[in-house]
Amino acid sequence: MTPMLLIRYGEIHLKGQNRPYFERTLLHAIIASAKKFGGVVEKGQGRYYLREVAAEDMPQAIDAMAKIFGIYSVSPAMELSKDLDAIYAAAAEAARRKLAALGKPAATFKVDSKRSDKRFPMNSMTLSAEAGGYILEHVPGLSVDVHHPDFTVYIEVRESAFIYTDTVMGSGGMPVGTNGKAALLLSGGIDSPVAGYMMAKRGLELCAVHFFSYPYTSERAKEKVMELAELLTHYAGRMEVYVVPFTEIQEAIRDNCPEDMFTLIMRRFMMRLAERVAQEHDAGALITGESLGQVASQTMEAMNVTGAVCSMPVFRPVIGMDKEEIVQISRKIGTFETSILPYED
């Protein structure tokens, strides 16, 4: 028996003739992420397999795979030959380990089998029943409950046989890069990293644009933005950040424009400049962290004024969320603690 990771993809299943392209893109992302663990990746029948990961690296490998957009779920599994006796023994061992992990003297279980290899001599229902009987006989403290078990032993018969009891949900979405490239207006706040995460989940490759107004904003504020970008790369992959000096523009607006128009005019300049950066780096859209009505510059009228200077689409994925919903996602993706550091942009 060999420990490995069984990796499933979700939405890609819905693709038609373009499906091989999405599968290849996801495969490349898995291979790139697996390099740090020395793992070997292979494409199987509706699955990817990650092998040769050291036992001490397995938790980190599972976490890394679960963060890749396009992956639906990950299961640490045992791979073995399609021999019935070997399958029964591996299923019993998996049940024994799970019972020990639960820390209870007794528990309920069931067996769930899938037979993709139709040449295998036993159908799924019979395999579940036979393996379940073997487990009952060889693992004390277990009883069967097919409706509400404490755990399930899963058996998949594919190119090999795979046995597992646990599944970690992945990030879902589409592989990064399959839907083009966009430029994220990245501030040091909570909203824009979440906006970037959400659009990367829909298959967009990201680059980022940050407006830096030294000495009104500090070097530490810029470092904070770079840290946020690095945190996003765990999900979105490699990302370039373009820092745009903005001090002279802000001072010119301050000296020459009505004070009550300062924010709107400033944001129009930001959108123009961000679009220029996007065009120079082959991005086809802008992404902002605007949420309708959250601040005075994010009313429908204000967003219409700031967006009017752009010819390319402007994606605002958090526009219908309240602040708490955005915060929940920022905590989930690990950007919240950095975003609230007291270095204002």
Closest C-alpha among 260, 262, 329, 258 to residue 291: 329
C-alpha to C-alpha distance for 208 and 73, rounded to whole angstroms: 29
Mean pLDDT across the chain: 94
Looking at residue 215, its pLDDT comes to 86
Residue 345: pLDDT band with limits 50, 70, 90:
low
Task: Report how far apart the first and last C-alpha atoms of the chain are (Å, whole number).
Answer: 54
C-alpha to C-alpha distance for 57 and 76, rounded to whole angstroms: 12
Q: At residue 88, does pLDDT exceed 90?
A: yes
Q: pLDDT tens for residues 126-169?
A: 999 999 999 999 999 999 999 999 999 999 999 999 999 999 99
Residue 217: pLDDT band with limits 50, 70, 90:
confident
Helix (H) or strand (E) holding 129: helix 124-138
Q: pLDDT tens for residues 23-66?
A: 999 999 999 999 999 999 999 888 999 999 999 999 999 999 99
Q: At residue 344, does pLDDT exceed 70?
A: no
C-alpha to C-alpha distance for 52 and 54, rounded to whole angstroms: 6
Looking at residue 294, its pLDDT comes to 85
Looking at residue 136, its pLDDT comes to 97
Looking at residue 313, its pLDDT comes to 97
Q: At residue 268, does pLDDT exceed 90?
A: yes
Q: At residue 13, does pLDDT exceed 80?
A: no
Q: Is 48 in contact with 23 (CB distance < 8 Å)?
A: no
Looking at residue 19, its pLDDT comes to 86
Q: At residue 224, does pLDDT exceed 90?
A: yes
C-alpha to C-alpha distance for 56 and 44, rounded to whole angstroms: 25
Looking at residue 176, its pLDDT comes to 96
Q: Which amino acid makes up residue 276? A: R
Q: At residue 298, does pLDDT exceed 90?
A: no
C-alpha to C-alpha distance for 214 and 92, rounded to whole angstroms: 64
3-state SS, residue 239: coil
Residue 22: pLDDT band with limits 50, 70, 90:
very high
Looking at residue 127, its pLDDT comes to 97
